[in-house]
């Protein structure tokens, strides 16, 4: 599932291409036909993200998209290709330089038109987003610090904090040597604040680079040049490989429906 940095980049890119211009909105698949008819031809004001949610403001009516596990956007310049497959929604407009631009949405968990009060109701259910505030540590800890739930599960709970997914969960816990099985109430306030501050840095780096890189240069196979894919993470998808710090085999098991990765020595309970 795309994590917060990806949605932030999508919002920025869509605003740059479409904001301030009338957008031709269609639903070739038909599932979003009513919503497309409501938005078609209207001027897009802006696209913003919060956590894993996208909000496109068409002057009072807001298009809400949640990509879920399988949703994807594609985009291009010029004439769009013929619609194929389960194409939920297509935007076409004259781009900022007068050229045609388009974007297609497939496979999203949510794609619906909301009023502003309905948007506010979604936002009220979400915890702080590290890409939206640097000061969300105490707010998120108010839930973490009194919970018996494992911190590895709490990090995936979007009502605790918004935008963190499976990669950031595994990597942030390793970077702070926290067992994913430790109850939230056993994580200290200062420990959580340090983790929060690190998430702010990592997510902003993800926005800048367009990928998730969590390793320090000293822990990679080469310390300079572009970060190779196999060097980008400490534990995520490294099951059975030696921990970069202690050499112990990285383990995995399922937690809240997703594969969890950790080092049993560096992150001992």
Distance between CA atoms of residues 175 and 89, nearest Å: 39
Among the listed residues 31, 251, 258, 264, the single catalytic one is 258
Taking alpha carbons only, the member of 55, 95, 102 closest to residue 79 is: 102
DSSP state for residue 153 in the 8-state scheme: H
* Phi, psi values for residue 49, rounded to 5°: -125, 155
**CATH number for domain 137-262, candidates 3.40.50.11270, 1.10.8.50, 3.40.50.620, 3.40.47.10:** 1.10.8.50
Distance between CA atoms of residues 210 and 185, nearest Å: 34
52 catalytic? Reply is: yes
The residues pairing with 61 across neighbouring beta strands, listed in sequence order, are none
Taking alpha carbons only, the member of 159, 180, 27 closest to residue 105 is: 27
What is the structure's pLDDT at 226? 83
Give the class (CATH, top level) of 4-125. Answer: alpha beta
2 catalytic? Reply is: yes
Low-confidence residues of the chain: pLDDT under 50? none
Among the listed residues 3, 130, 169, 175, the single catalytic one is 3
Distance between CA atoms of residues 171 and 253, nearest Å: 15
Among the listed residues 52, 88, 169, 244, the single catalytic one is 52
What is the structure's pLDDT at 21? 96
What is the structure's pLDDT at 225? 74
What is the structure's pLDDT at 222? 79
191 catalytic? Reply is: no
For the chain, the domains span 4-125, 137-262
**pLDDT per residue as tens digits for the range 217-229:** 999 987 777 899 9
258 catalytic? Reply is: yes
Other Cβ atoms closer than 10 A to 240: 8
């Amino acid at each position: 599932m795309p994590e917060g940095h990806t949605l932030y980049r999508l919002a920025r890119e869509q605003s740059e291409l479409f904001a301030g211009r009338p957008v031709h909105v269609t639903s070739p698949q038909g599932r979003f036909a009513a919503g497309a008819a409501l938005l078609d031809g209207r001027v897009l004001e802006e696209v913003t993200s919060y956590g894993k949610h996208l909000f496109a403001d068409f002057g009072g009516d807001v298009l809400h998209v949640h990509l879920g596990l399988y949703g994807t956007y594609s985009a291009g310049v010029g004439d769009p290709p013929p619609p194929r497959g389960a194409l939920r929604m297509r935007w076409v407009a004259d781009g900022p330089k007068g050229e045609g631009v388009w974007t297609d949405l497939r496979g999203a968990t949510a794609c619906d038109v909301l009023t502003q009060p309905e948007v506010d109701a979604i936002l009220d259910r979400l915890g702080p987003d590290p890409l939206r505030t640097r000061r969300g540590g105490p707010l998120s800890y108010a839930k973490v610090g009194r919970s018996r739930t494992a911190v590895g599960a709490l990090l995936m709970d979007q009502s605790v904090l918004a935008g963190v997914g499976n990669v950031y969960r595994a990597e942030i816990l390793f970077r702070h040597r926290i067992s994913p099985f430790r109850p939230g109430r056993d994580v200290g306030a200062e420990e959580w604040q340090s983790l929060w501050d690190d998430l702010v840095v990592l997510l902003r780096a993800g926005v800048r680079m367009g990928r998730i890189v969590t390793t320090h240069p000293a822990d990679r196979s080469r310390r300079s040049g572009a970060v190779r894919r196999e060097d980008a993470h400490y534990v995520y998808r490294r099951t059975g490989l030696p921990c970069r710090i202690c050499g112990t085999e990285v383990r995995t098991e399922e937690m809240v429906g997703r594969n969890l990765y950790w080092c049993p020595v560096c992150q001992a309970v």
